[in-house]
Structure 1
Amino acid sequence: MPDTVETDVTSADTPEQLRSAMTDKLLAEGKITSDGVERAFRTVPREVFVPEAPARQAYDVDDVVITKRNGYGVAISSVSAPRIQAFMLEQADLQPGHHVLEIGSSGTNAAMIAEIVGDKGEVTTLDIDQDVTDRATRGLAGTGYDRVNVVLGDGEQGCADHAPFDRILVTVGAWDIPPAWVNQLTEHGTITVPLRMRGVSRSITLRRDGDRLVSVSAEMAGFVRMQGEGAHEEQLLLLHGKEVGLRFDEEPPTHADKLTGALDTARVEEWTGATVGQTEPFDSLHLWLASALPGFCMLSATSDTKLVAPQNRTACPAMTDGSSLAHLALRKVSDDPRTFEFGAHGYGPEAAKLAAELAEQVRVWDRSHRSGPGPQFTIHPAGTPDEQLGEGRVIDKRHTRITISWP
């Protein structure tokens, strides 16, 4: 997500004009589809919540305004891009009179939620960082939305003082669904949350179904990660110094040291016949590979390394068996420079086997899931017996067991 500041604001571009243009664009793109969300976007003055940023940046549909970084320069709080906020608000299906909990506060989103639910509704926005809640309090007071409850607390615990909630919106990246969120939800309530599964995130709206939560929508999204009790760090394995890294959402292989020499072996290539256009999205492929492959991880590589040529140097789907690895790759198709073919590169003693397995799953995705509706996510309580989970990839978390089931 971009975090650069746009500076070419002209005197003619007033906040009101920028707000109107932003909303018109999101309507034209289909990101805003309801009257309530449109009204919120046309009404809430975003610039008040980010006084340090130019107005043009506050209203850029794709721009994220970073409001706080940690000691390593990593963003830990931000005002999300309008495009992301729009589709999450639409996902949540907010209605007048709803009681809503927002976990992760910037103030801007809480103001828009308050605009949608109206005076008969109630909005609580919660954050673990007092700098963030203080900023939200100032912004909400300065824009006339001081009826919003601003609470300092750990999102893992929800907010029992203002429960129950018709809607819970989580605007930080979560690794699990803690029991407090479910317990504080009304019988017909929903949770909209950017949930990370095997290193891949989706903003998912979940509805109660007995003791389970079942997805009703899912969108690609990325957020700063949750802090506090619900934090979960990926495990990083570095190869060849810091040139290549493997990130595991669960534990890395028990004998990961055997991977050290894998990249010194000859590369094995397996090509699939499945192609993609230069600007064609294929985000469902990453999710399919995460749900289909054993030993799944995300590979990253420095820009100057020649050890690997991954499909994406920042976050490339990969798999390992502990001594060998394979990752997703792309190559140009000679008769059309704008078209690329998916494949797999393998390294190590089992390179051919892993590359073939990864490539075959790309073909399965291409045949069966590329144009489909995507998977359903079901959240079961921890301890649910295997025979009650149904089919699909099972991902065990601290509080839950998640199944990813593709049609």
Structure 2
Amino acid sequence: MNIDEQVALLMQGTEYGDEALKQAMAAELRERLIEAQQEGRPLRVYCGYDPRKADLHLGHTVTMRKLRQFQDLGHEVTFLIGNFTSLIGDPSDKDKLRPRLTPEEIEENARTYAEQAFRILDPTKTKIRYNAEWLSKLCLADMIPLAANFTLQQFLTRENFRLRWERGDPIYLHETFYAIMQGYDAYMLKADVQVGGTDQLFNIVTAARKIMTFLGAKPNIAIIMGILPGTDGVVKMSKSLGNHIPINTTAEDMYGKVMSIPDFVMPTYAKLVTRWLPDEVAAFEKALADGTLHPRDAKMKLAFEITANFYGEEAAQRAQEAFVRLFQKRDLPEEIPEFHAEAGQSVLDVLVNAQLVKSKSEGRRLIEQKGVRLDGQVLTEPNAPIPHPGVLQVGKRQFLKVVF
């Protein structure tokens, strides 16, 4: 790829909330790519991950997909595990204090992170670092001049801090350390580029660039990725909300869950979690918009691509064939009513509240007779939570699209 093609690919799916800032970052990226080419070196690129959970879903992989694009272009990628910043917890996307993890919890979660990440990243081209390596050595004499680069107003005007302030909820002093420490990470890694989500805008664009400049380094370039909506198409993907697509699952499950997303979020998924180049994404969007690609066929193409990312093309093909056997050849009705279930709501409650059965006893009897299926899989536990969004079939003729 030439420089302009690289910039187009690397800026694909980015969101800054400000077009001028986006153009400025694109211009800096172009300049840095030219400089690196002239110097005969790769760009140093990193993204930090706080291992607060051991299992990852598709939303966590958006930044990893971007790191892989940098790898494929020959750049140097560091997968930074925030085993020290996890002791605080990033407050950026929370409107309440994060619970503090113990070092033992962090170590256990971190153990599986790289293994899951290597389903996207090239392990032979990935450096793994832990930020306790340098952050644990900082003392007050180091922190005072770093902290002097920021005002309390800068933190208190951030939306999540502001909401807590207005509610009278406590904001703890140690939470303000997080952005400073993340900026120091970028400095210690001599980063040219830092990748993060939109919740990291302050930490990367303001804190990291300011800290690096203060310490005499060239500020890194912020590649800020959009947030992947969950299977409901609206809210950020989250396991706690039940709208997530796990990556440690089966090809059939992943394919089916992608097929359950609303049509209108397909372009977002195409930009954020596929291997498609900008011209392929543009062609996909155009075909959807002008009607030359049926939404069902578009979603199948998308589901195949995403599943193949993690399980390979043969497994994706088998998953697609299984989906066709279970759904398309069952002559599902063209229009299926939707039911908005609450996360954790039981199978039996959904049947009753959606008026698919007249009573709980009737619902239990149907489940015992294996007459209730979700995406073709028989549901056997009436009081178990509805496992995921999808098409609920009761008997032979009743269908309901369950969304969260």
The structure with the largest alpha-carbon Rg is 2
TM over 0.5: no
Structure with more helix by fraction:
2
What's the TM-score bracket when you normalise by the shorter of the two chains? under 0.3
Normalising by the residue count of structure 1, what TM-score does the alignment of the two structures yield?
Answer: 0.26
Normalising by the residue count of structure 2, what TM-score does the alignment of the two structures yield?
Answer: 0.26
